[in-house]
Structure 1
Amino acid sequence: MGVFSKQEKFNPNSPLTRAQMAAILVPAFNLESDEIKTYPDVKKDDWHYQVVGKFGALNITAVEGNYNPNGYVKRANLAAFIVRLINLKRDDDKQDIWDQWKDWDNRGIIQFPEKPDKPDKDEETPTDSPKPPKEQDDEQEIKELEKALDAAIDDLEDAQEEVKDVLEDLREAEDDNDKEDIEEEKENLSK
């Protein structure tokens, strides 16, 4: 099953739909579910029925009612989905890369503001530094997620530019029928 329609151009500036996003993230994170959550606007014969159903059954999306599979994914939605996916993978009982990377961000399971960790009764809590208001915590987390997404977008744009340059060099080498340069540029594409 292809996520994007087969066409000559990739169209990197086209928005991603909610159905496409589920079709990318479900196999990317190797998500499995015995249940399928159904939505009134996702029919059994839709190409995205299984992936959207798994996405909902695993509570990666919290939407009730219509899923809106052709609606576009907003950055905030994508960030929330990725946080939920990481938590799901860290918290499952399967040994995988997420267990090896469990504390890569020094946070372990990412807690949403409505589910803060509660200290044990015997555990001392620091009193010398006041906690910032909850709204500041939320704002800071959103800023961190936005910063990470911006960095990822910048990396993708840089990679896209590099590929564009290599393809241009490859076309020139092909026009000049320079076999050595052709092989070199093909090798550059595979890096």
Structure 2
Amino acid sequence: MATLDVTIWHYEKMAMATKDSPSLRLIAWNLLHRGIQAKLGEPPFADFQWQLLIDDRNTLRYQHGGLKLISNQGMFGDAASSIGETVISLYQSVWTEAFWLELQIACDVPFVPSSFDHVVAHCADADDDWEIENEPHFTATLDLEESLLIDPSMTIEDLSKWIIQIVQKTMDAILFIIGTNNPEKS
């Protein structure tokens, strides 16, 4: 059985190599890192202290991994039941799942019920399909891209344009959720 598993794994890897370029995905993640880092210096993100972490190269090539933005300041004002750490994760699924790209915004404490209800109503009116939870803590999750499989024939110029779009979608989604704690902004 172990031999069969290794054989299947080998053929899957060979099939992946014809449809994907892990080295270009590394470039893509580094472009994402730089793009998000630049946006964090602009308002309103510049008002917060950020730590931006990126996973190691091997993880970004083939495994579940990505970027984490960590703010030790309460980004949600009075919405959270107490001031907690906010973690924003942008990560890909494993290669067998076509590297689905997902954004998750999490506060390490739950929102007060009225604020949570406001966020749910705000997200229900949105064009995007947000998944919102409040137990045991607040999380908002959004699928950003169906696949980060990168065709080996893709040029760096095309890759850069695509990544700029992903950076913009990411920052817009973060602003969308952060803005939900203030009914006048939403």
Q: Normalised by the shorter chain, which TM-score bucket?
A: under 0.3
TM-score, normalised with respect to structure 2? 0.26
Of Structure 1 and Structure 2, the greater strand share is in 2
TM-score, normalised with respect to structure 1? 0.25
* Higher RCO (CA < 8 A, seq sep 6+): 2
User: Which structure would you say has the larger Rg?
Assistant: 1
